[in-house]
Amino acid sequence: MRNRPAGRRSNTCFPNTRRSALRSKTDRMELTWLCKLLLAHLLTDFLLQPKSWIAARSRMHFRAPQLYAHGLVTAAVAGLLIGFNPWWVAPVILLSHTAIDGIKSYLPEKIGYFLADQLAHLLVLVGCWFAVWNYKGSLLPDWDRILSTRNVVLLTAFVFVTKPLGIFIGLFTAKWRARLTMEVVPAKNTEDPFGAKAVSDDSLATAGSWIGMAERVIILILVLKGQYEAFGLLLAAKSIIRFSDSQRTEAKTEYLLIGTLSSVLLALGTGLLTLKALQLLG
């Protein structure tokens, strides 16, 4: 049997397969790392931020202690999820998040400024993701087991369809809601996280917001389970409840229709994108 010449590599495909497997594992860890930052942002910017903090920031701007408290909470949650590895990510998020929110406090509550604010936060997180090219694992291994890539993707989707989408829908439908008087638009049908003047009863407005969030969560679950028949029944039942009032004005009907369809379509789109992401993860 002839010996293989020195320096010549074997034609076997196993080395390439091993490199591909390692690269695939690295890609998954990097995606998980980025999803953790996105999850931290959604949790702290929408679910863990009291309305009183937003009001104080809008009134006092950079002099508001709540602005810096919110920045600390955001940085702490992000740091915990990634295990403070690398250490500099949390300080970067603290400084950037505080600066962006402070600047936004001088601007009116309009959907364009809201989207610009969220885009600025997203660019910071993506920038950190690109900078951290060598993922070394979390300093908190328990989180690595609990927050697997699939779990992080699912959790991010469920958080996204609650308060973040609720705020977006409230801003998106603001111009239609502004045309209605307080008598035309009852508080229970208004999802307005910023407390519009048309809402006369804060408790009913809060109830309407929770109903919208619950509806989108149910839609997301049905889409993930592939239960599109039940999704159709849910939409039909809601349509009957919302549009059964014969005394409802045309403007009010248009407002409710726009809010309902935008909420349903956004939840449906989120579910389909989540399914696609889970399929890519395998």
158 and 36 belong to one structural domain: no
Find the angle CA(137)-CA(140)-CA(145) to the nearest 5 degrees. 75
Please state, in angstroms and rounded to a whole number, the distance separating the CA atoms of residues 279 and 90. 31
113 and 180 belong to one structural domain: no
Is residue 199 in a domain? no
Structure confidence at residue 133 (pLDDT): 61
Domain of residue 43: give its range.
25-139
* Mean local confidence (pLDDT), 118-127: 95
110 and 169 belong to one structural domain: no
Is residue 1 in a domain? no
- 8 pLDDT above the threshold of 70: no
Task: Kindly report, residue by residue over 151-193, the tens digit of the pLDDT.
Answer: 889 999 999 999 999 999 988 888 877 776 554 444 444 454 4
93 and 181 belong to one structural domain: no
Please state, in angstroms and rounded to a whole number, the distance separating the CA atoms of residues 33 and 144. 10
pLDDT band at 66 (very low <50, low <70, confident <90, very high): very high
Please state, in angstroms and rounded to a whole number, the distance separating the CA atoms of residues 176 and 251. 8
154 and 134 belong to one structural domain: no
139: tokens are 């300093």
- 22 pLDDT above the threshold of 80: no
Which residue would you say has higher pLDDT here, 118 or 254? 118
Structure confidence at residue 123 (pLDDT): 96
34 and 126 belong to one structural domain: yes
| Domain end point (choices 112, 139, 166) | 139
116 and 180 belong to one structural domain: no
134 and 155 belong to one structural domain: no
Percentage of the chain modeled with pLDDT above 70: 71
- Total structural domains within the chain: 2
With CA atoms as reference, report the closest residue to 33 among 111, 136, 123, 108.
Answer: 136
Is residue 196 in a domain? no
135 and 45 belong to one structural domain: yes
157 and 86 belong to one structural domain: no
159 and 275 belong to one structural domain: yes
| Domain end point (choices 82, 114, 139) | 139
127 and 70 belong to one structural domain: yes
Q: Which residue bears the tokens 């920031």?
A: 57
Please state, in angstroms and rounded to a whole number, the distance separating the CA atoms of residues 64 and 53. 8
Is residue 6 in a domain? no
Please state, in angstroms and rounded to a whole number, the distance separating the CA atoms of residues 67 and 267. 30
DSSP 61: G
pLDDT band at 95 (very low <50, low <70, confident <90, very high): very high
Sequence length of the chain is 282
Burial of 80 (0-12, 13-18, 19+ CB in 10 A): middle
CB hemisphere CA count around 229 (13 angstroms): 0
Is residue 32 in a domain? yes
Is residue 13 in a domain? no
Please state, in angstroms and rounded to a whole number, the distance separating the CA atoms of residues 162 and 214. 8
Please state, in angstroms and rounded to a whole number, the distance separating the CA atoms of residues 33 and 277. 15
DSSP 88: T
Element holding 200 (H helix, E strand): none
Please state, in angstroms and rounded to a whole number, the distance separating the CA atoms of residues 91 and 188. 41
Q: Which range among 16-25, 66-75, 143-152, 252-261 shows the weakest confidence by mean pLDDT?
A: 16-25
Q: In sequence order, which ranges of the chain are alpha helices (DSSP H)? A: 14-42, 51-60, 65-81, 89-104, 111-131, 141-146, 149-160, 163-172, 174-177, 202-225, 228-242, 250-281
Please state, in angstroms and rounded to a whole number, the distance separating the CA atoms of residues 80 and 24. 25
Structure confidence at residue 159 (pLDDT): 94
| Domain end point (choices 82, 115, 139) | 139
Is residue 75 in a domain? yes
Task: Kindly report, residue by residue over 188-238, the tens digit of the pLDDT.
Answer: 444 544 444 444 445 555 777 888 898 899 999 999 998 887 877 777 777
Distance of CA 154 to the CA centre of its chain: 11
Q: Is the peptide bond before 5 cis (omega within 30 degrees of 0)?
A: no
